[in-house]
Every structure is written in C-alpha cells, then in structure tokens.
Amino acid sequence: MYYLCKLSDVLWNPVLLILFLAVGGYYTLRSGFFQLRFPTWLRGTVGSLGRAGAGGKGGLTQLQTLCTALASTIGTGSIAGVATAIFFGGPGAVLWMWLSALLGMMTGFAEKALAVRYRQRTAQGFQGGPMVYMSQTLCKLGKILAVLFSLACVCASLAGGALVQSNSMAASLAAAFGLPPLGVGLATAAVTGWVIFGGVGRVGRLSEKLVPAMAGLFLAGGGLCLFVLRARLPAALAAVWRGAFQPRAALGGYGVGAALRYGVARGVFTNEAGLGSSAIAHAANGDATPQGEGMWGIFEVFASTLLVCTVTALVILTSGVYDPQTALAAIAGGSVPADLLGAPLSARAFGVVLGPLGPVLVAVCLPLFAFTSLLGWSYYGERALGFLLGSERRAGTFRRIFLLCVVLGTTWDVGAVWQLADLFNGLMALPNLTALLLLSPQVLPLIPKRRRTADP
C-alpha cells in the first residue's frame, strides 16, 4: 500500500495534474469555451437520438455507443470513488473534480472526434481509439505513444476495470446484505463472462438497457436526499470552496495539494476524459461523424461527473456522516477502516434520509454501475491488446484473465486497489494527452463556431 501511494503520487504530483488541466484549458480557450454553449451540444447529442441510425455492419448504434461509454464512466467511481476522494482529499477535492470535468469536456471532444476520424473498418465493424489515431498521424513518435498507451490500457482495464469494480461491488453487497465477497466475485465473473464472450454487440445491447435505468434510479434517490437536506447545502458548498484553496497549515487538515490530487484523479477516473479509453467505444459507432461524436464526448463528461458524481458528493457532505478529523486521524495512523470510505460511506450518507433504504439503494445501484463498467473496460482492454498483437487471436485469453481479476478484486484491500487504478490510469493518460496537444490542428476546425449576426 505504501509503495503504491508513493508511485501514484510521483506520477500525479504535479506532472499529470498540470497536464490534464493544461490540455483541457488549451482546448477550452481555443474553442471559446464551447462547452458552456449548452444548447448547441445538447441539440447535437440527446436532441439527435431520434434521428440516429441502426449502426454499421457489426457496429453499435449511437445509443448503444453512448451507453457503452457511460457504462465505464458512470461506474463505482461515481459512488465509491467520490467518497474515497473526499476521505483522502477533503471537501475541497469536489471543487477540483468539477473544474477538471469542466475542462475535460473539451478534452473529451478532442479524443472522440479523433477516434472517429481515424478509425478503421474491419470484418467485425469499425474499430479505433487513441492507439489508432496516434499511430496513423504522428509517425515514429505516434507508434511509440500508441504502444505505451495500449500497454497501460490493458493494465488499467484489469486494475481500474476488473479489480476496482468487483471490489466496490463486493463491499457494497457485504455491507448491505452480508453477502460473502468471494461468492459475489464468482457470480459476477460468471455473468460478465456470458456477456463479453458474446462480443461488443451484446455489450452494447445490455448497456443500452441498464445504464439509463440505473442512472435514473440513483439520481432520483440522491435528488430526494438533497431536497430533504437542502438547508445544509450552503455550508457544504462553503466547505468545498475553503478546502480547495486554503493551505494545510491554515486548516490544520488536508490542504490544497491533497484536494487537487484526489479531486482531479477521481474526476478523471469517473469521466475518463484524457485517458482515451472511452474513445474506443465511440469509434465503434457505425453512424458517427467526428464532430458529432466529439459533442457526445462533452455530454458524457457532463453526465458522469457534473451530474452523478455531484449528487454523491453533496449527499455525503450534507448528511453529516463524514468527519474530516476522524478521516485525517485514520490516514495519519496508516489504517483506514473500510466503513469510513468508498461504498460504505456513501451508503451511510444516503441512509441518513432514506433510512434502511439508503444502503439498499447504494447496494442496488453500485453493483449495476460496477457491472456495466466491467463490460466497457473488458472491451477497451481487448481492443488495446489486439492492437499490440496485430490480431484478435488472444482475445479469449484476455477475457479469462479479466474474469480472474474480477474474482480476485473482491478479496483485495480497497485502498490498494484504488491506488493501483490511479497508477495505470496515469500511465495511460500521459501518451494520450501528449497526442491530443500535438493533434490539436486536426481537432480545432471540427469545433462548431459561434454564429455571428449580420451587420444591419
């Protein structure tokens, strides 16, 4: 655990933190803050669903693409990850999570647009992602970046995809119903195996059904909690603002460094903007255009972080179950009880308003979130491995290893699992963010320009 923390901190502080914010900030400024033009990209996303086609041969429809991508982004990071970020980074981590998401909306536009522009048609349908647009556009450097990205993506799919999701799922079901973690892992692996061995089409069809239902259920429960606790919202928002900027010495607590590190890292884990992973799903959409899919990238970050994660964070901060001093004492002591962070902390927060139904809501939503995330990440890892090997001949082997990690994740320490996920996410982000900066001339012309009214 200690060495994982050190490795993650070296990677994230300050290189990746600066790089994530710099790339998102660059695209934000060059686009004239396009992500704030809500009517434009909403019309181009949810407003266009009724006009979506059936997808190309072997590909996904627009709705299936969105749900497959959201399946990996609206995962345990939306419930357990947000709670973990607040525990280790304090309330100020929430503000940095919001800022990283706001800037990440344009990063998401860039990587989805590039994934569609440079995707390839195969016998199984369209395929693409960062490894493809890197290798096709940046010569020798691009090929090196593509290999580094693909290696990290395979590892991230096993760590952040399999280990994290199954770990959080088992913890939630154990806390709510007393189910044995290993039994949860075996059952989850069996169902996941049935889906992923059916190919991307089966993943897309199942995600299309589960993702809207689980997101709607969670937002409804969280909205009710916030309505009941609305009188505490001003104090919670004030704590978020103070914690994001005040130094550790002034607070005697977390400090801006911890808030920045965990807020950005958890926001990135949730919405994947800058990681490049969800761009792999967008490339499989048979009806996609670069500009259109880029706007879906904006919507994806908005939905996963600025909606779902915000609800989780505010319920935790208004419920009173989170105590900064208790959290700091546990961190300083080097031993963090499982019920103080992750899914159990979120379950206790929802239980303040919903009573016994609170842990049940989390215990139902989190496994659904985690399960759909498993489906998305298994596809990403498989595509990255296929790029490295130049064929799909090891796809079955990868799927079996992925399912083994699903089982193993239920027995691992939750803190170590999250640190491992942060480490591989960072290694995946480095080559992708580098490529996004170098390829900005390919992206900026795709961003819709603001219409100017004619002179009278």
Q: pLDDT tens digit string along 49-70? A: 755 544 444 456 767 777 776 7
Write the CB contacts of 40 (distance below 8 Å, at least 6 apart in sequence).
34, 295, 448
pLDDT of residue 150: 96
pTM reported for the whole predicted model:
0.86
Percent of the chain surpassing pLDDT 70: 90
Q: How far is Cα 151 from Cα 251, in angstroms, rounded to an integer?
A: 41
pLDDT of residue 251: 47
Domains, the chain, ordered by start: 2-444 (1.20.1740.10)
The Cβ-side half-sphere exposure at 396, using a 13 Å CA radius, reads 1
User: And the tokens for 172?
Assistant: 């939630």
189: pLDDT confidence band, cut at 50, 70 and 90? very high
- Measured CA distances, 100 to 18, 24, 92, 93, 260 (Å): 11, 8, 13, 10, 10
Write the CB contacts of 59 (distance below 8 Å, at least 6 apart in sequence).
125, 126, 284, 285, 286, 287
pLDDT of residue 394: 82
Q: pLDDT tens digit string along 221-231? A: 999 999 999 99
Q: How far is Cα 163 from Cα 337, in angstroms, rounded to an integer?
A: 19
The Cβ-side half-sphere exposure at 425, using a 13 Å CA radius, reads 32
